[in-house]
Amino acid sequence: MSVSAPARGPITTRLRGRYDRNLWFAVFVGPFVLGLLVFVYIPIVWSVVLSFFDAHNTVTPSKFVGLSNYLDMIRDASFRSSLATFVLFALFIVPTTFVVSLGLALLINRARFARTFFRSVYFLPTACSYVVASLVWKLSIFSGVRFGLMNTVLGWFGIEPIAWLSVTQPPWYWLVIVTARMWLQAGFYMILFLAGLQRISPSLYEAAAIDGAGGWKVLRFITLPQLRATSTAVLLLLLINAFQAFDEFYNLLSSSGQYPPYARPPLVYLYYAALGQGQDFGHGSAGAVILTLLIALVALGQNRVLGLGRRED
């Protein structure tokens, strides 16, 4: 290569870099940057732009409306209630999934036999489609008729069948949603925790054993502090996931073109407003921006408290 280099103009040579490094960098990175730009960044920017326009049935609107879409969304009681519901939902589901997946990881990490088997068993649901899981939950396990799995079990105790997803008093639908979500997600976070657990140096445990520490003390003073980086990442992922809830909610609760006003995630609400026959991209985008800001705020707050990326001491 260096033989032919002098023949080229100095600028091209400099641009291509030593051993054509820059050229190869562009060849390998370029397509992905381009894809990211076209499919991620431009749409995000576009969506922000749309949120300032009256954009019914068009993505190239001309009527600028300033902040009125934002004001409408904030004044919209349904949107506010969907946000409030999901703050509550996050407050419940995040710690629960955290504890369950950590518990599973601790158990499996200490399993003396069939460790790979259990690890696979708990991880497998992650590979299952949310839609498929929702249908199994809706049609088979929590079917409202007397021969549904849960109702059959209840029937053994002489309890009348419950229409799990149809009634709101008491709100049994939460049981269906939460169990489906736990089943689908716990395994994935368990794997993250397992990876974290396996990185803890055995010498720490040996030292603890010599000092006479055991059980809870080891967990409290060695395992948990050592898992801090993993825990923070898991918490952040869980939180974002909770606010982005869509698939299982939509597939469990929507019917005949409508979605009930309870347990309605912000994304489902925006989906009905912005897509479908609604095609109101202005309000939909404004809602999406509000939701993004909210997620960013909560995530930042959480980081301040827990410190993601802070150097481990």
Residue count, binding to another protein (CB under 8 A) = 76
x/- contact string, 53-92, with another protein (CB under 8 A)? Answer: ---xxxx------------------x--------------
Give first-to-last CA distance, the chain, whole Å.
47
Q: Stretches 5-13, 23-31, 108-116, 162-170: which one binds another protein (CB under 8 A)?
A: 162-170
The nearest distance, CB 210 to another protein, in angstroms, is 40
- Residues numbered 167 to 226 that lie near another protein (CB under 8 A) are 167-169, 184-185, 188
Question: 143 or 223: whose CB is closer to another protein?
Answer: 143
* Type of residue at 162: I
Per-residue string for binding with another protein, 127-146, x by CB under 8 A? -xxxxx------x--xxxxx
Q: Which stretch binds another protein (CB under 8 A): 26-34, 97-105, 160-168, 200-208?
A: 160-168
Q: Considering only residues 275, 297, 301, 307, which one is a binding residue for another protein as defined by CB under 8 A?
A: 275
> Burial letters for 109-137: b for 16+ Cβ neighbours within 10 Å, e otherwise?
beeeeeeeeebeebbebeeeebeebbeeb
Tell me whether residue 17 or residue 276 sits nearer to another protein (CB atom): 276
Cβ nearer to another protein, comparing 20 with 61:
61
What are the Cα distances from residue 199, in Å, to 137, 192, 227, 228? 36, 11, 9, 12
Helix residue spans in the chain (DSSP H): 10-16, 21-36, 42-50, 68-75, 77-110, 115-123, 130-136, 149-156, 173-199, 202-210, 216-218, 224-226, 228-243, 247-253, 266-274, 281-306
